[in-house]
Amino acid sequence: MATETEKMIIAASRLLPEDGAVYVGTGMPLLASVLALKTHAPDLLLVYEGGGVGGKPTGRLPIQVSESLTYENGVTVGSMDYVMSLAQAGWIQYGFLGGAQIDAYGNLNTTVIGDWEHPKVRLPGSGGGADIASLCEKNIIIMRQDRRKFVEQLDFLTSPGYFTGPGEREKRGLPANTGPYRVITQIGIYGFHPETKRMTLLELFQGQTLDAVQENSSFAIDIADDWKYAEEPTEEELETLHALDRDGIVLG
């Protein structure tokens, strides 16, 4: 029986294309990306914020975006300026994001809880989030879901989703055809409705319920007419995943 974390990582891995470039963060995004490399997407290009491009780690997993394992067997290693300008020039199709808060349109907050000038909780800040969210074609958001994280109103908009609905990204001058693509939580996999750009349940993990979707969100989540249960992880996916994280750094 796969754990919630394993299901989330495997679901993210399946979303990645056979080739193309993905901006990788630590933790679940990294495991999902390396899992994709080892399963269906051997030509996927992993790009790390710290400067590593095309790394294919063989031993222990990198646990930070700037450590040297991120460019093991890689194509090149440059600077953060180098990899971030790849996104600015439109070379990175997929990005991963997370956050302390998300709203119905996939806008994210990683900056503060409470008022920015007098924060209740000071969070790490944007990092590469604001530009990844602005510039990548398809962003996959991985985070745990509960009512405090899924909020009606963000305390700070760090990384833009669809703002308040369709056309809003374009109106602000963000590149066309970019934005949040999927949100993966312990409960299910969400997309954004093409007409409203609101978060919509597409797939539910086995063992979860439609009630749990709503109970764990402060905003109303639409349910797609053709929603289904997510396919269970295969033996191969689970074995590969466990081999990647033998020390349980991410999987626990």
Partner 1 sequence: MSKQTSIQEAVGTIDNGALLALGGNALHRSPIAFVFELIRQGKKDLSLIKTAGALDVDLLALAKSIRSVHAGYIGFEMFGLAPNYRRGVQKGEITVHEHACASVIAALRASIYGVPFQPIHGFQGSSLPELTGLIKWITCPFTEKKTAVVEALRPDVAVIHTNIADEQGNAYIDGAVFEDLIMAKAARRVIITAEKIIDSATWTVQPQIPGFLVEQVALAEKGAAPGSCAPLYSIDEKEIHRYLENPQAFLERKVVVSHV
Q: Which residues bind partner 1 (CB under 8 A)?
A: 26-27, 49-52, 63-68, 70-71, 77-81, 84, 87-88, 111, 116, 118-131, 133-135, 156-160, 163, 168-169, 172-174, 249-250
Q: How far apart are CA 136 and CA 181, in angstroms?
A: 10
CA-based nearest residue to 190, from 209, 213, 219, 158: 213
* Catalytic residue flag (residue 168): no
Beta-bridged to residue 108, according to DSSP, are 102, 159
**171 versus 225: smaller Cβ distance to partner 1:** 171
**37 versus 250: smaller Cβ distance to partner 1:** 250
- Sequence-ordered alpha helix ranges (H) in the chain: 4-15, 28-38, 80-88, 129-135, 168-171, 210-215, 235-244
- Output the smallest distance, CB 81 to partner 1, in A: 5
**50 versus 57: smaller Cβ distance to partner 1:** 50
Q: How far apart are CA 190 and CA 219, in angstroms?
A: 14
Q: CA 69 → CA 30, 61, 172, 246, distances in Å?
A: 12, 7, 38, 16
b/e code 83-108 from CB counts within 10 Å (16+ = b): bbebbeeeebbbbbbbbbbbbbbbbb
Q: How far apart are CA 134 and CA 245, in angstroms?
A: 31
4-15 and 28-38 helices, crossing angle to 10°: 60
- Output the smallest distance, CB 118 to partner 1, in A: 7
Beta-bridged to residue 229, according to DSSP, are 204
| Active-site choice (6, 49, 203, 237) | 49
Instruction: Give the pair of three-digit tokens for residue 26.
Output: 């630590």
Positions marked active-site: 49
